[in-house]
Chains A and B, each alone.
Chain A
């Protein structure tokens, strides 16, 4: 919102500079984000009247005689919108127009021209501050504009504009008078006196002519607690006077005609939306009611709107004539030929108008003001101000006002001194509290331990005790209060166990060399397809996504973690070891969110170097990681065969814990990034299974005995089966069996392989003898033969 400093000073005379005022307003909660200084750079432009104008023979140019008050100038112009009697801006010889061009004497085809007639753009005026026809040709000034005055006195171009950004509860400041009131509060505080708002908008005395027998009926009383109607007869619809025009200019209102200009002026200056109906087009009484299904209304903008039961309507005996508080109907709108108008000034409830305007997707200046909450006592005053202006601008005769009111008397709000002190944690003296309320123009009754406060009717934000306490803070200053540490019983705080678990898991993953990423939770179908995602479970879809790429909540971490992989490869990062722990989502008859762990590996962990040491990420590196994770959490883990669309069919395993699938890992399938490995593990499941308690397990004090064996068997037999054949014997003394070599080829027959293990035996009771270990080896040999048809080769 742009607020004119010039108009503020006119309304509330003060000596503050724009930047002082901006700072003070901001400290009170009217944030001034910036100040725009506007300074014209034209010179010697004055107003003049066209005494005579005629076409120059054989040209498209006109010769005009302009009276500038001091002299009569002959000026040649090509503009076609001029006629004798027009008052226009004249750039005198030696002057400059807005873009800096100098104006002098010229000669067109033998005819002298002394100066130049100016268009809007030559004066540097923004296009949206003039009416449509004024944009074309020379700027025609209001007919009551005096001749021979500098143009900058006609339309006050020079100004300082506050860029105001308002909080939603500052309904009282969405219009000029509202900001002016806050300036008055600032002055009152600085001068230590009560605020006096009466200087803003002195109400005129108006004489009523003629009867007002328009009946008004309100059927939705809670949506329309107050309605005022007034007839203004015998009006002339025309351009507004210079006086009104100057105000419109400062309020950034584009002029239309005197009637519309007056209603717009009252709205932008006083914050009260008004509506003028063409009285002669109304039929019978005015009814305020909600719309019925099937009703339609063509609004001022020419759009036919299907109404719904959220719409509050103004209707007459023949049907809807306006969508209350939003927009009027075209049928009853004021036109050039309107002779009599019916002026509405009403109080509609904010929520009713919000629902109504949103149900139509139609938001107007009026609906915005109603939505925020207008002054519930200002309707009659606004009607009076408008009637008076219409009398001056359009020669109209206002009738008496007719009102229907269901306004409830607003309750006084109580504020207890001890409550103020308790909420603020600091003593504020009763005299200070009263002083602060005086600054804001509140009326109150002192009851000793509390005040009963009547806030002004435009202060829709004062409803409960806490609202008044906030005003104490606002007036004393937010930073004028002490800081105090919390008191009371000290108890220790903690994280939830799950949060603790997550941090522990993250620490573990970081220790394993992984970098934690943090990807967006919103994905699109193409991305999911690119990682071959296909799941039976239903995706969670946003009703109002920002884009197709962010339309669904992610059902897996793979998609976005894969994106991170690709992006890093694209920027030249070669070695990637990342993980994410985050929420994934799906839907059945309700929404589910689960926590998942995704790990992605690509490249190598140790750089190629002169030392010929290298460590590449591969299937077994990832498997080792997975095993480490489970071991770190004390969860027994198993692996088994399963296929997943995203993973290589021959380098993949399903992860099983507690007899259930808990995740999977493997190499990415073809068409995806090469040599990349991904693991996915359900974190909620991990959390359920993990054993926090670690118990010491004793180890033998006797030296272990090591034996190396080789097992020759069919090449297709999984190594896991061999391990199972060895450990299945449950030899208590067998501590480990480490596979240290896998060999295929001569002298072994085709399809055979040799697996070499280093076995370690030890006993808690004694040092094992050679014979005892031989016995174990024999048992193992038998088991191998039986279970995997393998042949043992001993050293």
Chain B
């Protein structure tokens, strides 16, 4: 009995001190055919009859115990060996990742897309038109005849043959109303040209978003509701809009539209010149002359229209200080908008 305990104790000491390479030896020493356990089994016959059973049990337990420990040790050694064999694959995982330089859509494309998505979800169709326009579509049909004082508001690049570079996306209103019958809900986005010298807020080339709704009962309240909803979705749900008197010959009543300053929320800051508001563009109720020009009866149909600057929207939304940056195409600028 004591022998068994002694052997167990001895095994426990040995297993802790033995080198990995000696485990097999140890296994033979205890569990081998001539090992210590085998010796115990041989001794069973010498044990007195009354204790034989108990002795047998104890030897079996010891055998199972030793087997288990050796198995565990062997597995541990194996996994250490595996690890060692992988060490040749060791890398400095703290190095930075390998990256392909990525593409990025232009900030103007992104802004147009975002604006279009909002209006498309409100049931507006997106229309397009040419950049080279006739005087008729850009001015005449929009109630701006030749020598109209409003022509001075938009310095125009002219081509030969009474053609010009469109100064606004509004000609697309006319093209749309010539093609489709009311009800009309449309927006148009695109490049416009004005003969302005470049400064931080002007550039001879810019983009506009134009909106037009014509139906039987479309009202000024709908214009306010639509632009207000757009502002909330574009600039955040606390955004508000403000209308102020303005003049565009193709709308009456006409209004300038501003949004609450995105920087200060309307309290006043340097960005909004302490007014709390940022002017975004014009809007108003479609002038009856414009409807008549496209053979829509103003007594039957009425509508609203608006035109905002895309660069202006992006400048406000992304805090871009200078409109010229859109056209410098510095990759350090463009890559920021992914």
Residues of A in contact with B (beta carbons under 8 Å apart): 26-29, 167-170, 350-351, 354-355, 358, 371-372, 422-426, 464, 466-467, 469-470, 473-474, 478-479, 481-496, 498-499, 503, 506-507, 509-522, 540-546, 550, 553, 564, 567-568, 571, 573, 575-578, 583, 585, 591, 593, 605-607, 609-611, 613, 615
Contact = CB atoms under 8 A, between A and B. Distances in A.
A120 B217 CA distance: 64
Contact of B287 (A372, A466, A521, A610): A466
Contact of A513 (B102, B147, B185, B252): B102
Contacts of B8: none
A684 B228 CA distance: 37
A544 B158 contact: yes
B131 A467 contact: no
Contact of A518 (B108, B123, B195, B204): B108
Contacts of B159: 540-543, 591
Give chain B's interface secondary structure class.
Answer: mixed
Contacts of A514: 103
B270 interface: no
Interface in B310-338: 326-332, 334-335
Nearest to B113: A503
B128 A499 contact: yes
A425 B222 contact: yes
B272 interface: no
11 contacts: A168-B148, A423-B285, A484-B221, A486-B185, A488-B215, A493-B126, A494-B120, A506-B109, A518-B109, A546-B195, A571-B330
Contacts of B123: 486, 490-493
Given A424-B221, A578-B329, 6 more contacts: A27-B244, A506-B105, A510-B105, A515-B103, A553-B165, A606-B101
Nearest to A503: B113
Contacts of B326: 518
Contact of B185 (A467, A493, A499): A493
Contact of B329 (A488, A512, A564): A564
Contact of A593 (B124, B127, B132): B132
B205 interface: yes
B225 A520 contact: no
Given A506-B109, A546-B204, A571-B330, A473 B157 contact: no
B224 interface: yes
Interface in B100-138: 100-106, 108-109, 113, 116, 119-128, 130-132
Given A493-B126, A495-B116, A518-B329, A168 B228 contact: no
Given A481-B224, A605-B101, A515 B331 contact: yes
B122 to A, nearest CB: 7
Given A371-B149, A541-B159, A521 B330 contact: no
Interface string B176-189: 00000001010000
Given A499-B128, A513-B102, A576-B331, A493 B149 contact: no
Given A371-B149, A606-B100, A542 B131 contact: no
A493 B152 contact: no
B302 interface: yes
B288 interface: yes
- The 9 closest A-B CB pairs, nearest first, are A425-B219, A425-B221, A29-B245, A470-B253, A510-B103, A168-B149, A516-B106, A167-B247, A478-B243
A313 B221 CA distance: 49
B99 A606 contact: yes
Given A578-B331, A593-B130, A168 B285 contact: no
Nearest to A585: B132
B119 A493 contact: yes
User: Range of interface residues on chain B?
Assistant: 35 or more
A593 B221 contact: no
B131 A519 contact: no
Interface string B141-169: 00000011110110001111001010000
A583 B131 CA distance: 8
A542 B225 contact: no
Contact of A573 (B128, B246, B332): B332
A541 B191 CA distance: 18
Contacts of B226: 485-486
A473 B220 contact: yes
B317 to A, nearest CB: 17
Interface of B: 95, 98-106, 108-109, 113, 116, 119-128, 130-132, 147-150, 152-153, 157-160, 163, 165, 183, 185, 191, 193, 195, 197, 204-205, 213, 215, 217-222, 224-226, 228-229, 242-247, 252-255, 285, 287-288, 302, 326-332, 334-335
Contacts of A358: 147
A466 B327 contact: no
A561 B171 CA distance: 29
Contacts of A585: 131-132
Nearest to A371: B149
B204 A567 contact: no
Nearest to B213: A486
A169 B284 CA distance: 15
A520 B218 CA distance: 38
A28 B245 contact: yes
B219 A489 contact: no
Contacts of B287: 466
Given A481-B221, A499-B128, A515-B331, A372 B102 contact: no
Contacts of A576: 331
A234 B121 CA distance: 77
Contact of B183 (A426, A473, A488, A575): A488
B306 to A, nearest CB: 13
Residue in B95, B119, B334 whose Cβ sees the most chain A Cβ within 10 Å: B334
Contacts of B163: 591
A466 B150 CA distance: 18
Nearest to B190: A583
B316 to A, nearest CB: 18
B103 A519 contact: no
A505 to B, nearest CB: 11
B222 A484 contact: yes
Nearest to A560: B329
Contact of A168 (B153, B157, B219, B331): B153
Given A481-B220, A520-B205, A466 B285 contact: yes
Nearest to A465: B288
B103 A423 contact: no
B126 A495 contact: yes
B220 A611 contact: no
A518 B215 contact: no
B101 A372 contact: no
Contacts of A491: 123, 185
A121 B226 CA distance: 57
Given A492-B123, A513-B101, A564-B329, A168 B247 contact: yes
A575 B158 CA distance: 39
B100 A517 contact: no
A498 B327 CA distance: 24
Contacts of A470: 252-254
A591 B229 CA distance: 39
A595 to B, nearest CB: 11
B225 A486 contact: yes
Contacts of B147: 351, 354-355, 358, 371
Nearest to B285: A423
A545 B105 CA distance: 30
A609 B104 CA distance: 23
B132 A591 contact: yes
B335 A522 contact: no
B219 A422 contact: yes
Contacts of B215: 488
B219 A484 contact: yes
B98 A609 contact: yes
Contacts of B330: 567-568, 571, 573
Nearest to A590: B161
B245 A583 contact: no
Nearest to B133: A591
Contacts of B165: 542, 553
Nearest to A368: B149
